[in-house]
């Protein structure tokens, strides 16, 4: 969730003695008003710890501009005073990308007040929103206009579109609609110099030079501050039908994916893989969530079709697909949701896996991507390596099989000391997994970003040429290194 604003009584405490002696804070108060500049420990607390509580930093101030002009003014003030800025949206990131460091010299730039839906163009199938707009609010606004905004992820009730763009979030519908990058047509950005680039053009074709938009998407605020975006909309589907299919292995799941894409084409909007242990954890910690089959199976796939014709048409496609899958020995069992409630229950199983894993205890998380054709081999080979390196470790493997993105997590052995396990194995297992990812021509970060968490691993696994190009871009767009320093790319 967005960190809460202080109460009226605490707002007045912003102007404490330190503010009067800190010219940076004084200038920010003049630009934003006292109620939008927090510099007491109590007021800043909710902005200084990341969602996973892995990092807690300190800040000189938390700044809450309400417009693009105010963001630009804050960036110029920070430049004058030599203060680095850490942009923050809903603070739901999983890699520490929106958390300041421990020095207390950086300022958090919260976009939480910039929540406006500026315009909707149904004929152009676009919506223009400010960076602090909550993802669920974008979805709702699109729905009210008779359109679909397809980006969907577990944190959609609290994450912001600016954060989604900054990390190039994926979600559950990438298979059909693509990542946040592919859903974005234009950006408004405040540069490191405090200038405003108005790139809010709702164009599908614009071949007039370098693609500046794509430079800022996925950059985690290290090149500039995204303040607004033009996002694609789609017609609302006439029906969505969800099913669960049990399979023997990830290899069988890939065969089912190939079959489903051949049968349904672009109507296939969801294809999620969940291991049996994932669902076992969900049942253990959320006993109201029923296992969907009469007996347990090694892997379960969640499929969703979004049909522009009718529910009957979608169900007929599913029935034909499953009949073929059974005949070819790919599917062991299957169940199709008969209602919206049943469909929601299927998705709840998938979305409660991270929650169940958290309830089970500390774990080692990996958000990785490998070519779809390599997923089965990657899982087989890497699990064997982990079993040899950390006997008894339990694998929690799930994710967006249709786009090659796995949440490849390692749980402490049953009854083991989680903190001791992490202390001993986190670094070596991270290296083992990432080396395997690279060997399979994959990525060590699929949709969560690099943030602080993976900066060193990124530097180790990328080529010198690629790192050199990234550093050149950073130097060109942020020559003084004041935009979210210490994130994405390590210092040379």
CATH code assigned at 292: 3.30.70.2190
Q: Average pLDDT in the 398-420 region?
A: 94
Instruction: Output the CA–CA distances (angstroms, integers) from residue 450 to 94, 160, 222, 351, in the order listed.
Output: 9, 18, 11, 22
Specify whether 32 is located in the same domain as 126: no
Domain range for 214:
117-235
**CATH code: domain of residue 80:** 3.30.43.10
Specify whether 195 is located in the same domain as 256: no
- Asked if pLDDT for residue 394 goes beyond 60, the answer is yes
- Asked if pLDDT for residue 1 goes beyond 90, the answer is no
Q: Average pLDDT in the 221-235 region?
A: 98
Specify whether 206 is located in the same domain as 265: no
**What was the pLDDT predicted at 6?**
46
- Asked if pLDDT for residue 8 goes beyond 60, the answer is no
Start-end of H helices in 173-225: 174-177, 180-183, 212-216
Q: Average pLDDT in the 272-298 region?
A: 95
Mean predicted lDDT score pLDDT of the chain: 93
What DSSP element (H or E) covers 371?
Answer: none
Specify whether 67 is located in the same domain as 165: no
- pLDDT band for position 483 (cuts 50, 70, 90): very high
Instruction: Output the CA–CA distances (angstroms, integers) from residue 488 to 54, 195, 245, 450, in the order listed.
Output: 17, 23, 38, 5
Distance CA 57, CA 50 (A): 9
Specify whether 33 is located in the same domain as 103: yes
Specify whether 199 is located in the same domain as 174: yes
- pLDDT band for position 386 (cuts 50, 70, 90): very high
Q: Average pLDDT in the 192-201 region?
A: 97
In a domain, 230, yes or no: yes
Asked whether the beta carbons of 301 and 256 are under 8 A apart, the reply is: yes
In a domain, 381, yes or no: no
Lowest-confidence region among 25-39, 307-321, 387-401: 307-321
Distance CA 411, CA 143 (A): 39
Question: Which 3 state secondary structure label does DSSP give 239?
Answer: strand
Q: Average pLDDT in the 123-129 region?
A: 98
**What was the pLDDT predicted at 10?**
41
**What was the pLDDT predicted at 492?**
55
Encode pLDDT of 142-186 as tens digits. 999 999 999 999 889 999 999 999 999 998 899 999 999 999 999
Specify whether 70 is located in the same domain as 157: no
Encode pLDDT of 54-105 as tens digits. 899 999 999 999 999 999 999 999 999 999 999 999 999 989 999 999 999 9
Distance CA 324, CA 259 (A): 8
Q: Average pLDDT in the 301-311 region?
A: 92
What DSSP element (H or E) covers 42?
Answer: helix 41-44
**What was the pLDDT predicted at 164?**
97
Checking phi first, is residue 329 left (phi over 0); if not, alpha (psi -120 to 50) or beta? left
**What was the pLDDT predicted at 371?**
96
**What was the pLDDT predicted at 17?**
45
**CATH code: domain of residue 218:** 3.30.465.10
State the greatest distance between any 2 C-alpha atoms of the chain, in Å, as a whole number: 77
Instruction: Output the CA–CA distances (angstroms, integers) from residue 462 to 21, 60, 438, 439, in the order listed.
Output: 44, 33, 9, 12
Q: Average pLDDT in the 324-337 region?
A: 95
- In this structure, the dihedral spanned by the alpha carbons of residues 186, 71, 480 and 230, taken in order and rounded to 10 degrees, is -10
Specify whether 201 is located in the same domain as 164: yes
**Domain C-terminal end among 211, 235, 259:** 235
In this prediction the pTM is 0.90
In a domain, 179, yes or no: yes
- Asked if pLDDT for residue 491 goes beyond 80, the answer is no
Specify whether 212 is located in the same domain as 283: no
Asked whether the beta carbons of 176 and 266 are under 8 A apart, the reply is: yes
Lowest-confidence region among 1-10, 179-188, 270-279, 444-453: 1-10
**Domain C-terminal end among 312, 332, 354:** 354
User: How many other CB atoms sit within 10 Å of the CB of residue 431?
Assistant: 14
Query: 184-191 and 224-232 as β-strands: parallel, antiparallel, unpaired?
Result: antiparallel
In a domain, 265, yes or no: yes
User: How many other CB atoms sit within 10 Å of the CB of residue 195?
Assistant: 12
Domain total of the chain: 3
In a domain, 391, yes or no: no
Distance CA 376, CA 380 (A): 6
Specify whether 60 is located in the same domain as 157: no
In a domain, 473, yes or no: no
% of the chain beyond a pLDDT of 70:
96
- Asked if pLDDT for residue 11 goes beyond 90, the answer is no
In a domain, 75, yes or no: yes
Report the half-sphere exposure of 104 (CA within 13 A, side-chain side): 4
**What was the pLDDT predicted at 24?**
97
**What was the pLDDT predicted at 490?**
79
Specify whether 39 is located in the same domain as 59: yes
Bridge partners, residue 49, by sequence: 56
Going by C-alpha positions, the residue among 143, 138, 134, 128 that lies closest to residue 113 is 134
In a domain, 274, yes or no: yes
Specify whether 74 is located in the same domain as 98: yes
Distance CA 489, CA 492 (A): 9
**What was the pLDDT predicted at 13?**
41
Distance CA 306, CA 323 (A): 20
**Domain C-terminal end among 189, 215, 235:** 235
């Amino acid at each position: 969730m967005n960190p809460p604003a202080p109460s009226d009584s605490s707002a007045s405490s912003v102007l404490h003695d330190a503010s009067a002696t800190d010219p940076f804070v004084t200038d920010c108060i003049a630009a934003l008003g006292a109620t939008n500049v927090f510099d007491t420990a109590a007021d800043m607390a909710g902005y200084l710890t990341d969602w996973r509580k892995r990092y807690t930093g300190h800040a000189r101030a938390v700044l809450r501009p309400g417009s693009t002009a105010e963001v630009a003014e804050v960036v110029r003030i920070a430049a004058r005073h030599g203060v680095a800025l850490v942009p923050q949206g809903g603070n739901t990131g999983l890699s520490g990308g929106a958390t300041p460091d421990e020095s207390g010299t950086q300022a958090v730039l919260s976009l939480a007040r910039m929540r406006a839906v500026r315009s909707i163009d149904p004929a152009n199938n676009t919506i223009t929103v400010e960076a602090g707009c909550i993802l669920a609010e974008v979805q709702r606004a699109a729905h009210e206009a008779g359109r679909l905004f397809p980006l969907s992820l577990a944190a959609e009730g609290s994450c912001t579109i600016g954060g989604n763009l900054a990390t190039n979030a994926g979600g559950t519908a990438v298979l059909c609609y693509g990542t946040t990058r592919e859903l974005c047509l234009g950006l408004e950005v405040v540069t490191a110099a405090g200038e405003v680039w108005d790139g809010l053009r709702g164009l599908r074709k614009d071949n007039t030079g370098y693609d500046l938009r794509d430079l800022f998407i996925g950059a985690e605020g290290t090149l500039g501050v995204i303040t607004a975006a033009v996002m694609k909309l789609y017609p609302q589907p006439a029906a969505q039908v969800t099913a669960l299919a049990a399979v023997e292995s990830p290899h069988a799941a890939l065969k089912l994916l190939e079959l489903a894409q051949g049968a349904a084409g672009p109507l296939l909007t969801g294809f999620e893989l969940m291991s049996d242990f994932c669902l076992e954890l969900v049942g253990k910690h959320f006993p109201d969530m029923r296992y969907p089959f009469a007996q347990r199976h090694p892997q379960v796939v969640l499929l969703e079709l979004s049909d522009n014709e009718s529910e009957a048409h979608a169900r007929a496609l599913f029935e034909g697909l499953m009949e073929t899958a059974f005949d070819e020995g790919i599917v062991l069992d299957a169940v199709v949701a008969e209602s919206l409630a049943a469909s929601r229950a299927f998705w709840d199983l998938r979305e409660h896996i991270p929650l169940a894993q958290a309830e089970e205890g500390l774990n080692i998380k990996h958000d990785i991507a490998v070519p779809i054709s390599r997923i089965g081999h990657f899982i087989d080979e890497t699990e064997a390596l982990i079993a040899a390196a950390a006997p008894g470790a339990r694998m929690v493997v799930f994710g967006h099989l249709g786009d090659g993105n796995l949440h490849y997590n390692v749980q402490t052995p049953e009854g083991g000391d989680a903190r001791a396990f992490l202390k001993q194995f986190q670094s070596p297992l991270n290296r083992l997994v990432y080396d395997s990812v690279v060997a399979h021509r994959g990525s060590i970060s699929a949709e969560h970003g690099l943030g602080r968490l993976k900066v060193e691993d990124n530097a180790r696994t990328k080529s010198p040429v690629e790192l050199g190009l990234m550093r050149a871009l950073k130097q060109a767009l942020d020559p003084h290194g004041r935009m979210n320093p210490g994130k994405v790319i390590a210092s040379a």
